[in-house]
Each structure stands twice: as structure tokens, then as C-alpha cells.
Amino acid sequence: MLHHLLSRSIGFLALAAVAALTTIAAPAPATAAEPIRIGLGISLTGPLAANGKSALLAMKIWEEDINAKGGLAGRPVTLVYYDDQSNPSTVPGIYTKLLDIDKVDLIMGGYATNMLAPAMPIAIRKKKVLIGLFGVAVNSAFNYPGYFAMIPDGPDPKAAFAKGFFDAAMAQNPKPQTIAIVGADAEFSLNAMEGARINAKAAGLKIVYDKTYPPANTEFASIIRAIQATNPDLVFIGSYPLDSVGMVRAVNEAGFKPKMIGGGMVGLQATVFKTQLGPLLNGFVNYDFWLPVKTMEFPGVLEFIKKYQARAPAEGVDPLGYYIAPWGYAYLQVLAQAVEATKSLDDSKLIDYIHGATFTTIVGDVKFGREGEWAQPRVLEVQFQNIKGNSIDQFKNVSVQAIVAPAKYQSGQFIYPYADAVK
């Protein structure tokens, strides 16, 4: 498989070289009627597909909406996208093809930390603006001024991603004393775990377990038993979708009941996994970024959700779309507003503008800070409560998902300890 992916990436590069030479030899004249082409890689198959496909539908809705209004800067817009298969090794070839063969005008980052990191060297080399969707601390290793993170982690993303989990825990009486930290040995999980350590130290918690597991791991019972043996008050898990499902099942099967568990579990926000796990989710506390509660009814978001949900069944995507869909629409709103304000597709001009502007989107006002992260954090901590059966209806009105932090967006009472929520 790896040989196949490497061969394909090499093939992309070879095609790119040929295309570049061909373009130099016979440049095509541009006309005002030509569409602005925006390229990206997105996960349509593999473990990240549930969220990737949901995000893509949102992008298509944005494309239709912007074109119905006359396009962008007087030109129609076309999205050019390829399936990255939830595999980081495909990403460099995709972005090379988009820029050197497809000749797209602009690029957007795909979804997830592990997919965004391998796109960064291409964007840096080509000096392209790159707005990433739900990547945690992607730019911390690159410090590239052209990267912007469409995720509300704030200027200190690793710490902010985990902070709500710790804020909720440390508000309890008596306060917890110990914590276990676990996650996959992969980009996202490592960043999330580092954030958990930062918060644990600040809270004065003793770390009694701190280990990673291989990204391809499929057996979680032994991991949970090892954590259980250390008897921690809190358990912070940094995991991708299939790991998250495996962890939830393993915790329930083992009868493991720490005082609080969850934190950084990607996938549990997707409707397919919520309905699959049902009551097994009760008590878990996990991050989220938007839910349809009164405190988060930003202008245009409910209209978008209505449009998305009408399309979702036929598209075969997440039927509710609460997690990533609004953000897939909003991050294109940011790009569009920058293009309209600068009246340019010049990446350097767009980069300068995005750094200084405030953007009005369906997920609220967005302003970027250092390293392209949000200037202010807004990570939600949500607890699953009173789930009965596997019906989708209970998740539609979010009655079984209570925002417990931050206080500004709180929509329900925190049930602590975990054992009380699983009764």
C-alpha cells in the first residue's frame, strides 16, 4: 500500500513537471468569464470520511450560494477536490497536482490535523494562503504566515483544546487529584496530549499514566485495563474516530468508572457514531465547536443547517451536520471576504488582509491571531447525558448533549462523577 501511494505521489510530481512545461510553451489567455478555481484535498473515504463528506457538502452549498449571488469578484467559482483517503501520504501529491496540473487559483486546507500537516510544505514552497479545517496546532512546527486555522483553539492551541475539560473537572468539590493521558502516536493525538499535560501541570494534577498506542491499533481493552490499574480520577483521551469508538466500548465493557473521562476524542461528534454507540456515551465529556443551542445561533447558521439537512440524505452524509458542516461553509466565507476586500487573487495580499481583518461567518465573528490561530479561544466541552437507545431524534434537538463549559455557552448541568451519569 505504501509503495502504491509513493508511486502515485511520484506520478503526480512527474505529471506536474510535464504540465508546467506545457503551460510555458502554450499559455492560455484568461478571460473575465473564467471561473475562480479553488482546490483542496478532503477525506471522502477512510476513517475520517464521515466528517470529510459532511464538510464537502457544506462547501458545495457555499459554492452554489456564492454563484447565485453573482460569483466572487465578478467571476463564478468552481471547487476542484480530490479524496485524500484519510491518508497523509496522499496529500503532497494532491496539492502538487492541484497547483501544477490543474492550475487552481487558490487552495484550501483539507480536514484534520493529520491531513493538514503534509500540505504545509507545498503551501510554503508555493507561497499560497492555506486555511485549514479543524487542525490542532498545525502551524506550531512551521510558523508560516500564510496559514490560518479554522478551529476556535485560540493563540495557544494545544493548551486551549484541552482547557475546557480541565476547567470543568477542577470546579468540582472535592477536586480530582490524578489523571491518565492516552492517545495515538500521530500528529493530532500528540498535540492534544501535550495540551493535556500543560493543563494538568497548571491544575496541580499528578499524572499516573501517560502513553501512546500505534495509530493502526484496533484493540483497546488492554489499554483501558492498564489505565484502570492506576486508578486515576480523570482520563484524557486523544483519539481519531475508530479509536474513539473502540475506547468507548472498552470503557463500558471493563466497567471502568473514573470520575471524568473523554476530552479529545474525534468522531464522537458525528451522528453515525452517536447513534451507533447510544447509551454507551453517557457520562463522556468531550470537546465540540458548535451545537444548535440559543447561545450559538449566529446569523445565518440555522438557515444553513436547514439547507444542509434537506440535502444530506441524498448525499449520504451526516444527516444532522452539527459538527463540521457549518465550519466547512464558514472557512470559505473567510476566503471569499478576503478576495472581495482586496479585489485580488494574489496570495500575498490575501495573507496580509486575513491577518488584520475580522470576518463575519455563520459560526460567529472570526479574527486570527499569531500563527494564524483564532485570536480568542472558544472550545466547547460537552457531556453526553441520559441517552436512551440509538434513535437519531434525541441527538437532533441536542437534549442529550449538555454544553458544560465555558460558562458563556453552558446549556446544561454537569453530572459528576462519571458513575452518576451512567446509572
Q: Do domains 2-152+299-372 and 157-288+385-421 have the same CATH topology?
A: yes
Q: Are 401 and 385 in contact (CB under 8 A)?
A: yes
Mean pLDDT over the full length of the chain: 92
pTM for this prediction: 0.89
Query: Tens digit of pLDDT for each residue in 393-404?
Result: 999 989 999 999
Query: Tens digit of pLDDT for each residue in 142-174?
Result: 999 999 999 999 999 999 999 999 999 999 999
| 79: Cβ contacts below 8 Å, ≥ 6 apart | 38, 39, 40, 59, 60, 63
Query: Tens digit of pLDDT for each residue in 33-44?
Result: 799 999 999 999
Q: Where are the domains of the chain?
A: 2-152+299-372, 157-288+385-421
pLDDT of residue 33: 72
Cell, residue 56: 464537502
Question: In CATH terms, is domain 157-288+385-421 a member of 3.40.50.2300?
Answer: yes
> 309-323 b/e with 16+ CB inside 10 Å = b?
beebeeeebbbbbbb
Q: How confident is the model at residue 139 (pLDDT cuts 50, 70, 90)?
A: very high
What average pLDDT does the segment 8-15 reach?
A: 38
Collapsing DSSP to helix, strand or coil, 181 comes out as strand
Query: Tens digit of pLDDT for each residue in 345-367?
Result: 999 999 999 999 999 999 999 99
Query: Tens digit of pLDDT for each residue in 227-246?
Result: 999 999 999 999 999 999 99
Number of H helices, E strands in the chain: 15, 14
Query: Tens digit of pLDDT for each residue in 173-219?
Result: 999 999 999 999 999 999 999 999 999 999 999 999 999 999 999 99
Q: How confident is the model at residue 14 (pLDDT cuts 50, 70, 90)?
A: very low
Matching residue, cell 483521551: 237
DSSP assignment of 303-368: HHHHHHHHHHHHHTS-SS--SSHHHHHHHHHHHHHHHHHHT---HHHHHHHHHH-EEEETTEEEEB
CATH architecture, range 2-152+299-372: 3-Layer(aba) Sandwich (3.40)
Which backbone phi and psi does 408 adopt, to 5 degrees? -60, -30
pLDDT of residue 333: 98
- Cross-strand bridge partners of residue 358: 367
Q: Is the pLDDT of residue 7 over 50?
A: no
DSSP 381: E
What average pLDDT does the segment 81-86 reach?
A: 98
